[in-house]
Amino acid sequence: MADIRKKSVSLTAYLEFLLLSGPSAAFKIITPLDPDARGTQLSVLLKPGILDTLSDMLEEAGIVCDKRKPDVIRVAPVPLYNTYEEVWKFVQIFNAALAKFE
């Protein structure tokens, strides 16, 4: 279990790093920054009007995320089967969707 938790923390930190390194200011991570307080998922508050387009683009790419209307998407890289490459691909699609609104 320790190895799984270690990968979980690492995957989520990588996701957070990539999201915050991106060019867009169209979102805010509302999950606590402390890894011990957030588990494996990040809740991302989007600017109004972005959720449906983002969700459609993710679904077309085969990516499953939890959307909470009106403007929150919850992203949870699962350490048992998600890879760092998949996290990177998610962020590429995420940024492409946000670019449509800038």
What's the token pair of residue 51? 């959720």
Residue 80 DSSP symbol = T
The per-residue pLDDT for range 12-21, each reduced to its tens digit, is 999 999 999 9
Residue linked to tokens 């403007």: 71
**DSSP helix/strand/coil, 88:** helix
Q: Which residues pair with 67 in a beta bridge?
A: 73
pLDDT digits (tens, 9 = 90+) for 65-97: 899 999 999 999 999 999 999 999 999 999 998
pTM (global) more than 0.85 = yes
Domains and CATH numbers, the chain: 2-99 (3.90.1150.10)
